[in-house]
Structure 1
Amino acid sequence: MRLAAALLALSSSTVMAAAGELPACDDASVLATLTSRQAWAEAHTWKDGVTIAAVDRIGEARLDVGGFSAIDRRHCAARAGLTAALPTTLYYVVSAEGFAGYGWNVEFCLSGHDPYRVYGADCQVLK
């Protein structure tokens, strides 16, 4: 019984530590990563002249930690000011799945600017 309680306490502290390692939605490194990746995608794929100029109204929509998935995720939404287009909603997920399981990754979608519907209609997958 004591062993089970000790294992439970250890696993919950590990989960909390992992969640604490995920950067916040408004972390400068997260925003820099997603804006640079969007600029790269624009230059090499979409070629419509639209890039992210500014990000504001940043908020966390949901935090998935210790659930069915072994990967912790922070779901975020913000307003993206765009070049050559009206502002739109930016959805992104920060996940604890960097290279070889070390660090973090960010996936993003600009509402109305996902022509291949990689993240479903209106970025549904990342919401």
Structure 2
Amino acid sequence: MSVRRIGLVVGALAAVLALVPQAQAANWLEKNFWMSGPRYSGNLPACDSGWALGTIQLRFSGKEHAFWNSRLGIVKFDDIHETANRPWASDTIPRRFCTARALISDGIWRPVHYLIGEDFGLIGATWDVEWCVVGLDRNWASNPGCRMMRP
């Protein structure tokens, strides 16, 4: 009886798959309608922007507390400078790469590499910042040595 049911199920699946239309390439209207390409302004906040540095401070302390049960935080930034601005092809998402030194609450100055990207924010509506503190990238998201946050 179970062999017969398996045969019916396989037969039903075959019938359903036979009715599914074959995939076809998009026609000219589908390819060109509302697909005008990226329109990036390239207007990104500066590396020393209070918004960017504040975001890094807030997210660093939040990550340390939530994931590593640590009370570490960034006390202040120093030696802030841009390392690259839109280093790749002009059609790629605009990114400003920055480096700074951060005084961590444990008293150690550590390098911080970060990038500010256009359309990186919520649903691509605004800028956002991605960052890495050298020596405190505990989940190795930007390893080795925060290399993924540099151009």
Instruction: Please give the range of the TM-score, normalised by the shorter of the 2 chains.
Output: 0.7 to 0.9
1:22-69 Cα deviation digits (max 9, x unpaired): 100000111111110111101101223321010111000001167165
Query: Are positions 1:113 and 2:132 aligned together?
Result: no
8 Å contact 2:96–2:116 — kept in the other structure? yes
What residue in structure 2 maps to residue 44 of structure 1? 66
What residue in structure 2 maps to residue 64 of structure 1? 86
Counting only pairs closer than 5 Å after superposition, residues 1-127 of structure 1 correspond to structure 2 as 18-19=41-42, 21-64=43-86, 67=89, 70-97=92-119, 98-127=121-150
Distance 1:66 1:103 in 2: 20
Identity %: 28
Give the unaligned 5+ runs of structure 2.
1-36
Distance 2:88 2:126 in 1: 17
Residue 102 of structure 1: CA displacement?
A: 1.5
Distance 2:87 2:113 in 1: 19
One-letter amino acid matched to 2:93: I
Higher relative CO (Cα under 8 Å, sequence separation at least 6) belongs to 1
Tell which structure's C-alpha radius of gyration is larger.
Answer: 2
SS of aligned partner of 1:84? coil
Distance 2:92 2:76 in 1: 33
TM-score by length of 2: 0.68
Greater share of helix: 1
8 Å contact 2:64–2:72 — kept in the other structure? yes
Distance 1:86 1:61 in 2: 23
Distance 1:76 1:112 in 2: 17
Give the unaligned 5+ runs of structure 1.
1-10
Distance 1:109 1:125 in 2: 9
TM-score by length of 1: 0.80
Greater share of strand: 1
CA-atom RMSD in angstroms: 1.9
